[in-house]
Structure 1
Amino acid sequence: MTPESTRSEATQPDGPQAETTQAAPKADEAALLRKVVTPVRFVLFDFDGPICRLFAGRPATTVAQDLVQWLKERGLRGLLTDDEKEQPDPYVVLRAVDRRHPRSDLVVELEQWLTRQELAAVATAMPTAYVDRLIRTWSAVGVRLAVTTNNAPCAVSRYLERRGLLECFSPHIYGRTQDLSLLKPDPYCVERALHAMGAERGAALMIGDAPSDYVAAERAGVRFLGYARNEHKAELLRAAGAEHLVDSLEQLSSVVYAIGRTKAP
């Protein structure tokens, strides 16, 4: 054992002191989350990420490659740049085609193809840890919930129905339309949800995992909580300007439950 390692170990707290040291950041995070969510009466969830990993059984990278192959088989691969052909995100590919042929039959066909992939992916989608409990808790204490997503609303509804969560959101599921210019970061789906629920913007919160979610919330005047399941996603959200991030929904669920208990009659 080197002197350096001895000094390092000597500076590490153990016993009750260690527990106190580890508990402090969690207490700070809980206090921050409480401050963020206490005034909230309307919550807008992005779907793929905060609620589930839609393409857990079949990676989105594979779907994007299949989409590029679909174009190639029809002699249309030249519509994409080399960078777009290598994109791991099928929605980036879809947007790229739409920019060059907006509202065309080709875009309609591609959008329908992607919708079929999303519907098929529901069967193997992986729920985000603690989100079911969070959704049910918020719904039980009277918070109004909506989904605001770039996914097809029919795929969202199918997934939520399979999980027994549809009644927590229905009818407020706002997803992709055939006008792809309205995908996030455009705030269109966020604005639709706010208007339909009669939501006050100061009492609304959006939970998302991508910079486009943050930008859409910012443009709509809604506070934002980022869900970053890894450091890469956290870096992207911070770079976009997001201030409040969590890497798990466990503590958020506990905070929401505790707030609900204090408000209960």
Structure 2
Amino acid sequence: MTSDTTQTEPVTSETENETEQLRDLITRARVVLWDFDGPICRLFAGHKAERVAIDLVDWLEGRGLHGLLTEEERESLDPHVVLRAVDRRHPGSDLVAELEERLTQEELRATSSAMPTAYADPLIRTWSAVGSRLAIATNNSPRVVRAYLNSRGLLSCFSPHIYGRTQDLHRLKPDPHCLNRALNAMGAAPTSALMIGDTPSDLVAANSAGVPFLGYARNDRKAKLLREAGATAVVDSLGSVLRGVRAQA
């Protein structure tokens, strides 16, 4: 047996196992819960999230609230980190409501330059056409999700099951609140559903809700984060999922 053969056999076996695992997830799924930013599109592809986070921090500091955030939170470059931090210190306040609305407006602006995830549109249409029920479970504003889906002609595949950010910011993922809302509204058992997400918080939410999870990773860094968090099924392209759904049709 050559060294080349020794090296390639485990890779082939692993690929077959992953293909079988993906096939099993697709076969069992009667309801598919989608995260929005990542699996469906890159919302901030042209309107950078880092810039949005900086603007939110600047807005807070312009109101004399520099001390409201830690240095780490100010430098996170993640608008959701900023929003959560303020909500932890002033839950349910007008300040939080205004900050959340500012983030929503930035997200709405971002929809015009959002980049569709490869194969997402045909996968959504195909899964819907074969009778699966689809829902969105996201930390983004539901207004933003509807605007984007409408622009792609996909809104009817999900509506009315779009569950996004509410004023209860402590219930953003990794809390399973939006997944549970979707399952309850659709009358679906967790084991009959499948969550597609691209972050460890999506995985934690799915595990908490008892929903099987499929990770989507557009690069090696995201795949590593998902696998380190415990994801066992991760794809780098939704093309393989689309092929699997078509094979089951």
TM range (shorter): over 0.9
TM-superposed deviation, 1:24: 7.1
Partner of 1:92: 81
SS at match of 1:168: helix
Distance 1:32 1:185 in 2: 24
TM-superposed deviation, 1:200: 1.5
Distance 1:147 1:255 in 2: 21
Distance 1:216 1:21 in 2: 32
Contact 2:47 2:109 in 1 (8 A): no
Deviation by residue 1:90-116 (Cα, 9 ceiling, x = unmatched): 001100111011111100000000000
Distance 2:111 2:208 in 1: 30
SS at match of 1:129: coil
Partner of 1:3: none
Partner of 2:221: 232
Identity of aligned residues (%): 62
2:97 is the counterpart of 1:108: yes
2:90 is the counterpart of 1:136: no
Partner of 2:115: 126
Distance 1:22 1:240 in 2: 22
Distance 2:211 2:176 in 1: 10
Deviation by residue 1:196-228 (Cα, 9 ceiling, x = unmatched): 001121110000011111111111111111111
Select 1:170's aligned residue among 159, 167, 186: 159
Unaligned residue ranges in structure 1 (runs of 5+): 1-9, 261-265
Partner of 1:43: 32
Distance 2:138 2:167 in 1: 14
Deviation by residue 1:45-82 (Cα, 9 ceiling, x = unmatched): 00000000000011111111111111111111210111
CA RMSD between the two structures: 1.9
Distance 1:30 1:136 in 2: 22
Deviation by residue 1:215-249 (Cα, 9 ceiling, x = unmatched): 11111111111111112212221222211111111
Deviation by residue 1:9-30 (Cα, 9 ceiling, x = unmatched): x9769xxxx9x99987655433
Name the amino acid aligned to 2:243: S
Name the amino acid aligned to 1:232: R
Distance 1:169 1:140 in 2: 12
Deviation by residue 1:110-158 (Cα, 9 ceiling, x = unmatched): 0000000011110000000001111111100100000000000000000
Equivalence map 1:1-265=2 (5 Å): 27-260=16-249
Name the amino acid aligned to 1:124: S
TM-superposed deviation, 1:182: 1.0
Give the alignment's TM-score, normalised by structure 1: 0.88
Unaligned residue ranges in structure 2 (runs of 5+): none
Larger radius of gyration: 1
SS at match of 2:33: strand
Contact 2:215 2:231 in 1 (8 A): yes
SS at match of 1:38: helix
Name the amino acid aligned to 1:208: G
The count of corresponding residues between Structure 1 and Structure 2 is 246
